[in-house]
């Protein structure tokens, strides 16, 4: 009887200790509160990239910095699309079309020409989308130190 009491006490004690482990830990995973529906996939992607072998940064903070940076850059992109970005895209399409034509005249390697056609198709699709698709928008790199406020531990 005494031995059963000891075993029961050990089991109850172990359950108590195990249940209290991690009780003060922060919830893990991306915190999507306050993130627009259009930005949730990008936020989650940024969070997951940050979370790989990371012990230095708060990944929710890093993902929010990335989403804010993308929003700001996209607003600039849409504001200047007709005056700056559309003419650049039109020039790229025209230059690539001329390059393909030249490569075909010179009987270049068909694999190179095929690759150039794929790139041209992608540019034309981007041209057709215009500024309406934020997921196709090429985000400029984050400025140096943009995620410094997200440091949680010094290594």
pLDDT at 7 over 60: no
Q: Is the pTM of this model over 0.95?
A: no
Contact between 141 and 69 (Cβ < 8 Å): no
Over range 102-128, report the average pLDDT.
89
Lowest mean pLDDT among 18-22, 101-105, 140-144: 18-22
Query: Taking the domains of the chain in order of start, what are their residue ranges?
Result: 38-150
| pLDDT tens digits, 73-98 | 989 988 988 898 889 999 999 999 99
């Amino acid at each position: 009887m005494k031995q059963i009491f000891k075993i029961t006490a050990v089991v109850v004690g172990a359950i108590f200790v195990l249940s209290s482990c991690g009780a003060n830990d922060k919830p893990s995973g991306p915190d999507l509160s306050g993130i627009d529906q259009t930005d949730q996939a990008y936020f989650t992607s940024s969070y997951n990239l940050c979370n790989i072998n990371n012990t230095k940064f708060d990944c929710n903070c890093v993902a929010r910095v990335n989403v804010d940076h993308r929003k700001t850059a996209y607003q600039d992109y849409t504001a200047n699309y007709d005056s700056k970005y559309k003419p650049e895209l039109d020039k790229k399409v025209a230059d690539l079309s001329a390059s393909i034509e030249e490569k075909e005249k010179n009987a270049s390697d068909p694999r190179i020409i095929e690759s150039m056609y794929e790139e041209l198709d992608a540019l034309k699709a981007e041209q057709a989308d215009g500024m309406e698709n934020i997921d196709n928008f090429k985000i400029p790199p984050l400025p140096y130190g943009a995620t410094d406020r997200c440091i949680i531990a010094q290594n």
